[in-house]
Amino acid sequence: MALGFVLLLSLLLLSPRPSLGVSSPCPAGCRCYSLTVECGSTDLRDIPRLIPSSTQTIFLQDNVISQIRRVDLTLLKHLHYLYLQNNTISGVEPGSFRDQSHLLELALNGNRIHLLTPNMLQGLEQLRILYLSGNDITRLLDYTFQDLQRLQELHLQQNSIEMIADKALFGLTSLALLDLSRNNLHTIGPTSLRPLVSLQVLRITDNPWRCDCALHWLRRWIDEDGQRLLSSAERRLVCNEPPRLSHLSLVEVPPNSLVCIPPVVQLEPRRLAVHLGESLRVSCHASGYPRPQVTWKKASQKEPSEGRVSLQKTTGEYFDPDTGSGMLFLSNVTVAHAGFYECEAWNAGGVARVTFQLAINSSTSSSIWASCPVLSSDVSREPLYALGSMAFSALGAATQTAIAVGISLLALTALLLIAMIYSRHHQRDKDTDGESILYVNDYSDGPTTFAQLEEYRDEQGHEMYVLNRAKPVLPPAPPTAVSTTNLDCHAPSDTSSQTLSIGPGKTTNPTVPQNKQEQQEIDIRTMRRIAGEGGEAEPIITSEAEGLFLNHTGVFMESQIAYEIHC
């Protein structure tokens, strides 16, 4: 009996007491159990160090822990579950989980993590569930989860993820659930989901999807394989842009409406020379849909190949690479900055590249150009001009074209003006020549007098006198002989004859009694004065135009009166 009591007392003294023993202390403010430590909502700023090494489960949620350091988990090699949600963790030191080869579940949701790197999750080969929701993650880089080959659930909802690299999910061959809902995803490529051969549940709702050509595959995938991975609610992916497709489900959009516009790059100038020590800003603008991403990179020149420039990234970092703004900034320019730079713009519709050449304007600038032969067709051997030069060669191609078109239009306008002036002068000369033309309208079918003459202007403005037969005919004067003189105007050959027809085959000259000759001469002078009142000087009658005033209508009148037609 006494022996049994001694043995029982010995067993009690040797039994383990984890919460009270010296070898297994419990952190202040925490509750420790056999394999579990509960330290939630205790305002901890760091992970406690006095956690028993045999602990398998640790609750550290709802504290103010700001970072995870490598030394925090080094002694906890038997952890299976680690809960750090709802803290202020913004950084995880690389290698912090290197010794956690038994960890099955890790909760980091509700923190301030904005970047995930592959070495951050290194050592979690046995991890099954990873909670990263509710952080500030903006992009998933390539090979971020490559060591999580046994991961089955990945929760990334409620972040600000805009971009998923093509190989970001590489290695997740056992993943069955992927939650990317409530992010800022505009698009996703088919290669991103290709490694997920075991995927059973995909959640990608509540994202501002841009329904363009990059989502052709997703629409087809939803109609085919997506039926088993997406619920009816999860298959309704609402388009946010373009505006004409907003509020429509992706499956409701016709395939021919999912279009893209390839990028177009504008870079002026393409070549530039600067002085040593100066700063340089070159802006590269790109247009397209969706909006292209623009980056700069330094290029190196190798041996010529078919007259082209070989563009490769250089090992020396002579400038800060652009992150998408399209601006190349070089400060304190040195000789090492000289060379070729490439502006690259890309979107789902394609890629566009433009080469920019920089030279250093110094005392040895000529040798620099000699050592940099121009191999590209868009780079000539013309001298480069400093920024701000107004030389025509330094202007852009669009500006040069506009100037050339303007000069051509001015020259054409000048030629048209000269042609108009010449045409008017020529027309005026013709009008002057036409003033001496005699217009005759000979009415030979009845008696005529000067009372029937009236002024008339033809279509070209020439004055002429025609016979108006609508006016009454005055009684003919007694037959008299008229002596006429020559007119300045030459009568045409078909005017009235100088003889009077008496009968068939017989002609005779008209005679005028002598006592009536004076009266007839007075009438002739009167008619000359009347004809001269048109603004011209009184004409001189000559014998040459005598026939113009003889009327061959002798059938009705015995005497003939000569009429003067003044032009």
Q: Please check the confidence at residue 324 and state whether its pLDDT lies above 70.
A: no
pLDDT band (50, 70, 90) for residue 399? confident
pLDDT in tens, 40-80: 999 999 999 889 999 999 999 999 999 999 999 999 999 99
Q: Decide if domain 261-391 falls under CATH 2.60.40.10.
A: yes
Which residues sit opposite 275 in a β-bridge? 361
Nearest to 137 by CA among 204, 170, 190, 183: 183
| pLDDT at residue 177 in the model | 96
Secondary structure class of 386 (helix, strand, coil): coil
Decide: 308 and 375 in contact? Cβ < 8 Å: yes
Where along the chain do its domains lie? Answer: 21-207, 261-391, 396-434, 450-549
For the chain, the first-to-last Cα distance in angstroms comes to 172
Number of Cβ within a 10 Å radius of residue 245: 21
Residue pLDDT, tens place only, 416-430 = 999 999 888 877 766
> Bridge partners of 178?
154, 202
Q: Are strands 350-361 and 327-330 parallel, antiparallel or unpaired?
A: unpaired
pLDDT value of residue 215: 92
pLDDT at 321 > cutoff 70 = no
Stretch 88-97: mean pLDDT: 93
337 DSSP assignment: G
Helix (H) or strand (E) run with residue 262 in it: strand 261-266
503-549 pLDDT, tens digit each: 444 444 444 445 556 666 766 666 655 555 444 444 444 444 444 44
Question: The tokens 């680690």 sit on which residue?
Answer: 82
Question: Which pTM does this prediction carry?
Answer: 0.55
Q: What is the reported pLDDT for 518?
A: 67
CA angle 306, 311, 313 (to 5 degrees): 155
**Nearest in space to 218 (alpha carbons), one of 195, 177, 249, 243:** 249
Return the structure tokens found at 254: 């016709």
Give the C-alpha separation, 293 to 353, whole Å.
Answer: 12
Architecture of domain 21-207: Alpha-Beta Horseshoe (3.80)
Question: What pLDDT is stored for residue 233 in this prediction?
Answer: 79
CA distance 19 to 22: 9
Structure tokens at 232: 């009816």
